[in-house]
Structure 1
Amino acid sequence: MTEAYTAAVEYLYGRINFESLPSPPYAERHMKLDRMRQLLTRLGQPAAGVPTVHIAGTKGKGSTSALLASIVQAANYSVGVFSSPHLQSIEERFCVNSLPCKPQELVELVELVRPAVALMDEEADAAPKEQLRPTFFEIATAIALLHFARRKVDLVILEVGLGGRLDSTNVCSPCCTVITSISYDHTKQLGETLAEIATEKAGIVKPGVPLVTGPLKEAPRRVIAEVAERHGARMIAADRDYRFRYDSAHAQSAERVGGQLHFEMQADRGHPLQEPFVLDDAKLKLLGRHQAANAAVALATSVELRRQGWLLPEAALRAGLAETTLPGRVELISERPAVVLDTAHNVASVTALVETLAENFSCERRHLLLAATREKDVAGMLRVLLPFFQTVTLTQYEENTRAVPVAKLQETVQAILAKEPDLASQIEVEVVDNPKQAWQKAREQAQPEDLLCVTGSFFIAAELRPVLRAEAVIN
């Protein structure tokens, strides 16, 4: 990479970066939407007026964004997606038509934001209590919008970073908002109950703007419905306005492909759409029933865009679903043994992971390589994971300070196994501090007919993915 690129990346990471803190703050004194609005005003309101879909949710945001983008792109529209975090390079956060921005583009974008940020920094020096310095994520959001404006995209998809109400993406004026799911994560920041978490996510709901929701439990569904009604936002809800069924591929299938989705949306009361919308036998490339739910949310959003005048023919819907791939989501890195990389990092996502592995991989023995992040329900995750695997290699990632120390991880495993002697007798546990050495240890244990899964955090997936891919063999 060039010196200019290195300097640009160092500039971004030199900002306040809540993603790298052991306990990311979540309060109005830290996450100021007025600060974000001021930054965009100084930059000339990039991408203002471009139709935008704003997506929040505990899990499924990234997959739903990718699926929706693939559908829109298949209909010959240009689409920009802002997502986070990234796996390998920061450019992944700023995609146009599925391609990350180029390193030279990132350099140019950073140079465009520098003057505005510098002025805000000067104002912050004059009023230090006001916390006016733009953060890493705020600058990244601005860079995304600048990139999309420069590329003249037809549609912008903004993925919320944390929560919704106070997230820097929540300054947009969307044509549609989406809440994919509500489950327990970031409870210190967002609340201890599903209703409290739903309240924060529902902060993206805008007056008169349609809202699509994925499958929700009753408490968060009720909270979100109340917010939507209060804002006059038409709510398009799973299991009420649309339904779906998923038929999985057989575990012995020669091709590791997703199953088929059957989707139906009712005719909308009070809307000129007279006929229900039905899509049968749509093929999915992404593995897992949870991805079927994400695909259904993307389809429901696509139908809403059709109602708003977007030309998204059935062929584009099918092609978009069939072609979507996403690194780190039950990603099959290698065969014999089957090596799967997944970014699951909370109880809901590891539950979906275990169900997907059981449904799609027939194997002799199953091996787990795990690292985790602080402030997650690590014990809850382990209670789901441990019964499914015969060996577990514990480690910790190195490039972010939020890692659970491997000794603490070991203590948690031991506490669980002490209460379940039958499980303890069936599982082997190894502890390796260095993640690359942990991978080698786990890989040595796996025979050709086995399954080896690397999971527990976005950060361990990011650190080990290049190593795994360097050794990959796909038969």
Structure 2
Amino acid sequence: SVHIAGTKGKGSVAAMTESVIRSTGHVTGLFTSPHLHDLRERIQVNGEMISKKSFAKLLNDLQLEIESTANITYYEIMTILAMEYFARQNVDIAILEVGLGGRLDATNVVTPKVCAITTISYDHMDLLGNTIAEIATEKAGIIKPNVPIVSGPQLDSALTVLSQYASALNAPFIETTKEWRWEQIASDLSGQTFSIWRIGQKQIKVRHRIPLLGKHQIENVTVVMSIIEQLSQQGWNIPQSAISQGLKQVNWPARCEIFQTKPPILIDSSHNRASVLQLTKVLDDLFPQQKRVLVFGSMSDKDITGMFTELLPYCSHTVLSSTGMPRSMKPDELETISADYNCYTTLASNTESALDAAEKLAGNEGMIVVTGSITIAASIRLLITRKHPYSTLHSSKQSYEK
């Protein structure tokens, strides 16, 4: 297996790593969370989510064990189902994304071929700690003795913790910032092209294209490249052609995903300040002069103020909404926080009315940006795909009917 933790980008790295390895002909398992539209998305083999029939059979087969385990959680059940399904499907390798933290995560029962920790920033502080060093300590819990650990770009305080843990466990420590350099060549609404090379070997540049927007996704590719390199050193045959094909074909929706509707809509599942900052960079690059109407909904335990600081000064109007989940912050509560910013607001009791309001406010000249949580992104995305079924630039490969 490959085990991936981090605050930002771990899902993207997992999806790209799986896509690359699948391109070699190996049978792959992918376990990610949370899901976008269907919980079965969390468990995939060879890019296809588990069928309803297989999911029901797994639950039935494991019912006694699940019911006899005291205080078992929904996430732990999903992890068990994924592991069992991968075993039954005889996958060659499983790519496992940590759900939260690392040390105490349900996925942290494997001894992987490679571990990776993407960029660490502030999130889930009530559970993981109030400093980057404390959060890094929880993430470092996935590091295993003698197992290579790949680290994405980190703040110094996080890097210190990760390197110390790796050293104590004799785990080879690979910092992507000391291994790779890259440059963006072109970016459009459907993706970006870039060159990447090893430090000191600029004459051996390799060009790739990914259907994911934002320079932060190129940084995520450097993590993928180091993971693939470590697997190759362990005997996995992953040629350059598979890397190129896998990156080009990765499917990871609701991450700066653009719908070419009128007005255009960008959906992103950012839910902390650092991720929202990356989103604003994408908007500045691709839509520098366009009037922005924001549709925002978030969970009550998130850094709303931090996200608003990055978003509201650059939006002409904000539609505040909720998906109605128990942890969702109510629109009027969001409005109270937004009062500190010079931005017009509209309250919408549900996502359907939020989208309608945003479309009217954006008109023909503006665009709509949807963010704040994966639940608001998923809800609005479902509305758009039903209303404009051919508007997305990246067709989802999943079938939800099986």
> Shorter-chain-normalised TM-score: which range?
over 0.9
User: Which has the larger displacement, 256-265 or 304-313?
Assistant: 256-265
Contact 1:58–1:180 (8 Å) recurs in 2: yes
Q: Deviation at 1:428?
A: 2.2
CA distance in 1, matches of 2:33, 2:252: 13
Structure 2 residue runs of 5 or longer lacking an equivalent are: 394-402
* Aligned residue number for residue 241 of structure 2: 315
* Aligned residue number for residue 400 of structure 2: none
Contact 2:2–2:94 (8 Å) recurs in 1: yes
Within 5 Å, give how 1:284-295 maps onto structure 2: 284-295=210-221
Within 5 Å, give how 1:162-201 maps onto structure 2: 162-201=100-139
CA distance in 1, matches of 2:303, 2:204: 39
Is 1:246–2:167 an aligned residue pair? no
The 1:102–1:264 alpha-carbon spacing in structure 2 relative to 1, beyond 3 Å, is same
CA distance in 2, matches of 1:69, 1:368: 33
Q: Deviation at 1:278?
A: 5.2
Within 5 Å, give how 1:26-175 maps onto structure 2: 52-120=1-69, 132-175=70-113
Contact 2:269–2:371 (8 Å) recurs in 1: yes
Structure 1 residue aligned with 2:367, among 439, 443, 451? 451
Q: Secondary structure at the match of 2:221?
A: helix
* Aligned residue number for residue 225 of structure 2: 299
Q: Deviation at 1:103?
A: 0.7
Superposition TM-score, scaled by structure 1 size: 0.79
1:180-232 residue CA offsets vs partner (Å, 9 max, x unmatched): 11000001110000000000000000000000010001110001000000000
CA distance in 2, matches of 1:65, 1:264: 22
CA distance in 1, matches of 2:286, 2:103: 37
Q: Secondary structure at the match of 1:153?
A: coil
Contact 2:295–2:355 (8 Å) recurs in 1: yes
Q: Deviation at 1:358?
A: 1.3
RMSD (Å) for aligned C-alpha atoms: 1.8
CA distance in 1, matches of 2:183, 2:318: 31
CA distance in 1, matches of 2:12, 2:347: 32
* Aligned residue number for residue 371 of structure 1: 297
Aligned residue-pair number: 391
CA distance in 2, matches of 1:261, 1:350: 25
Residue type of the partner of 2:351? P
The 1:209–1:276 alpha-carbon spacing in structure 2 relative to 1, beyond 3 Å, is farther
Q: Deviation at 1:97?
A: 1.2
Contact 2:209–2:247 (8 Å) recurs in 1: yes
Q: Deviation at 1:265?
A: 6.0
CA distance in 1, matches of 2:273, 2:132: 14
User: Which has the larger displacement, 158-167 or 448-457?
Assistant: 448-457
CA distance in 2, matches of 1:81, 1:375: 28
Fraction of identical pairs, as percent: 34
* Aligned residue number for residue 329 of structure 2: 404
Structure 1 residue runs of 5 or longer lacking an equivalent are: 1-51, 121-131, 267-274, 418-423
Q: Secondary structure at the match of 2:4?
A: strand
Superposition TM-score, scaled by structure 2 size: 0.93
Q: Secondary structure at the match of 2:310?
A: helix
Q: Secondary structure at the match of 1:244?
A: strand
CA distance in 2, matches of 1:465, 1:284: 21
Looking at CA atoms only, which structure, 1 or 2, has the larger radius of gyration?
Answer: 1
